[in-house]
Amino acid sequence: MNKLLITGFLIFSSLRGFSTCIAIYIAPNGHIYVAADSRRTFYLDDDKTRTESICKIHNVGNTYFAIAGFDDGGLLTAANNALGQNNDPDAAIEAFGAAMTAHYQHLMDEAQQFYPEMLKRFLANGLAEVAFFGYTDGRARVMDVQFRVYLKKNKPVVRCRVLPVGFLAVIGISKDIDDAAPDELPAKQTMLQKPDLYVQQLVELEAAKQPLTVGGPIDLLELSPDGAVWIKKSNSGATIQ
């Protein structure tokens, strides 16, 4: 891959940090509630930005997933392929992790050669998080797949890890949620009685703190063993490519 192509792919496709906020919550009723901002931000080489609205929640059959990270188009393609080729969600997640680890490894090797400053960003911020969620034997299940890059003997090494989620995961940008004072967070009563509002308010909190990277209409999904219901879905014509 020549330097011009590297410039186009890494700069025009990359996201600063994860440039999104997605909250996934397993409520006491056993349903899974997901809220995702819809802003997709491109950081251009002259420090200007371009944004568009997209839906970051996807599915193949009964397995749903939400994407936050660098090269969201590659993540979407790999997840669709893995889920389409594997009926077992665990096998699909393993195949997805292997495919994206190899893909990211190639990109990080190129980044080190041509754009070491950009590699430093990825070393600090990570590469991506993708949450897969659905039901196994009627029980809610959420798996958080994380991709990070490290230096080993001064060479980038990409690693993938898969973590089961107890009841709540916030992927993408979440520092302001993590650091929020108790009175800034949604009330416990909201968490227990209005789970859809709870995840929405978490994303709204991050959007208020990071308006340049998190924003747009919030998509809101409720998933149960009986199927999915879109509580809110932005009417955007844009798709991840």
Predicted TM-score of the model (pTM): 0.89
What digits encode the pLDDT tens for the residues 32-59?
A: 999 999 987 665 555 556 677 889 999 9
How far, in Å, are 8, 67, 93, 134 from residue 88 at the CA level?
A: 36, 20, 9, 12
Task: Kindly list the domain boundaries of the chain, sorted by start residue.
Answer: 3-232
Candidates 7, 30, 25; CA nearest to 140 is 30
Crossing angle of helices 89-114 and 72-85, rounded to 10°: 150
41-55, 106-120, 177-191, 224-238 — which is least confidently predicted? 41-55
20-29, 40-49, 109-118, 156-165 — which is least confidently predicted? 40-49
What digits encode the pLDDT tens for the residues 114-126?
A: 888 889 989 998 9
Statement: residue 8 has pLDDT above 50: no
**CATH class for the region spanning 3-232:** alpha beta
pLDDT of residue 6: 46
DSSP class of 107: H
